[in-house]
Amino acid sequence: MIKEDLDNARREQERIQTDLENAIERANAMAVEAEIANVELNQIINTSIDGLILIYENFSVKRINASLLNFLDLSETEAVGKKCYDLMPSSWCNTTECPLTKLLRGKDHIELDIERTRKDGVTVPFMFAATPFRGLDGAVIGMVARFNDITERKYAEKTLKEANERLERLSVSDGLTGVANRRCFDQTIQQEWTRLQRTKDFLSLIMCDVDFFKLFNDTYGHQRGDDCLKSVAKALQETARRSGDCVARYGGEEFAVIMPVTGEKSAIHIAEIIRQTMENMAITHNKSSVAPFVTLSLGVATVVPDDKITPEVLIKFADMALYLAKSSGRNRVKVWKRPKEAPPKD
């Protein structure tokens, strides 16, 4: 009986020993697999061109990849274990806007554009994305953050924006003179009309025409004609300088100046300065019957916009004044006057 018990005990011990050896072998295999997985994970993390960082809930850096270390100009030993707010101080540190704080409070994803400055002083734009890092029990114990360099994207966005702005300028500018085109004129006078209807302020319009421009073109050629129109635009721009004034090429050799919050006397004064400025340029025009140089005829109209008339009526009034200037001998300023009301009949 004793011998049998000893044999049983020996066999049980051998079985336990075998199980222990098998367990150790499995543990060793799992350790090797874990080490291989860790090496593979490190390779994946460190070969990523994006910056990656793992931060625990106490704000300490647990892991950081080569890309981000290179940007920060730090070694791994200099970064791991440091507090993230010491490593990469940000405006959100110690505030409720901190991404880690938001993730710990239940946010499941954070994505935003940020900028970071390298030690060499170069500012780099990044797309920052952060997600929760969870423990074995599923609870959030930190965050994994990715820094994607978006320099090329920002450059493309800037280039596109500048191109759109150039197209917008082209769409509202006269290609020859650089002043506003007819489309811009129509938009501006409508906008100012609507605005001044509310404020009950004056809106003045100057219409001007180059005297005998066809003769000038026929005599000196189209290139000189183009240069003449550029000079007219320059004279208008140098005079109508206020931020609200709009100088436009209305069509052909005809120009217009929209002048918000400008009374009749001021508009006439500015129109006269424009006429004199053009005279002073003394651009030769031997075929003109008015003067031996290029001159302008100008018409001025002023109204207080209301719902009884439209911008087209103001344009008509200014055009009538321009016609009067031309029919009265040219090289002069004329103003549209509202007809006096007829006296009531008996």
pLDDT at 343: 44
Mean pLDDT in residue range 218-225: 95
259 against 341, higher pLDDT: 259
133 and 212 co-located in one domain: no
> Is 97 annotated in the active site?
no
Question: At residue 163, does pLDDT exceed 90?
Answer: no
pLDDT at 43: 58
Asked, for residue 35, whether it belongs to a domain, the answer is no
Expressed as residue numbers, the domain containing 254 is 173-335
183 and 321 co-located in one domain: yes
253 and 131 co-located in one domain: no
Residues 6+ away with beta carbon under 8 Å from 190: 311
Question: At residue 191, does pLDDT exceed 60?
Answer: yes
pLDDT at 340: 57
The SS3 assignment for 187 reads helix
236 and 326 co-located in one domain: yes
The band of 120, judged by pLDDT with boundaries at 50, 70 and 90, is confident
Which CATH number fits the domain that encloses residue 202? 3.30.70.270
Question: At residue 344, does pLDDT exceed 70?
Answer: no
Q: How many CB atoms lie under 10 A from the CB of residue 41?
A: 11
Which CATH number fits the domain that encloses residue 94? 3.30.450.20
327 and 203 co-located in one domain: yes
Roughly how many angstroms between the first and final C-alpha of the chain, as a whole number? 152
CB 234 within 8 A of CB 296: no
The band of 44, judged by pLDDT with boundaries at 50, 70 and 90, is low
| Its pTM surpasses 0.75 | no
Which of 167, 189, 215 is a domain's end point? 167
159 and 189 co-located in one domain: no
Express each pLDDT in 79-117 by its tens digit.
Answer: 999 999 999 899 999 999 999 999 999 999 999 999 988
Q: How many CB atoms lie under 10 A from the CB of residue 120?
A: 6
Q: How many CB atoms lie under 10 A from the CB of residue 195?
A: 15
The tally of domains found in the chain comes to: 2
Mean pLDDT in residue range 111-136: 90
Q: How far apart are CA 111 and CA 53, in angstroms?
A: 15
Q: How far apart are CA 160 and CA 166, in angstroms?
A: 10
Chain CA centroid to CA 33, Å: 52
Which tokens hold the place of 56?
Answer: 């625990």
194 and 110 co-located in one domain: no
Extract the runs of DSSP E, i.e. beta strands, from 25-160: 51-56, 61-64, 110-117, 123-134, 140-149
Among the options 12, 25, 253, 341, which is catalytic? 253
Which of 106, 138, 167 is a domain's end point? 167
Express each pLDDT in 264-290 by its tens digit.
Answer: 999 999 999 999 999 999 999 999 999
98 and 186 co-located in one domain: no
The band of 197, judged by pLDDT with boundaries at 50, 70 and 90, is very high
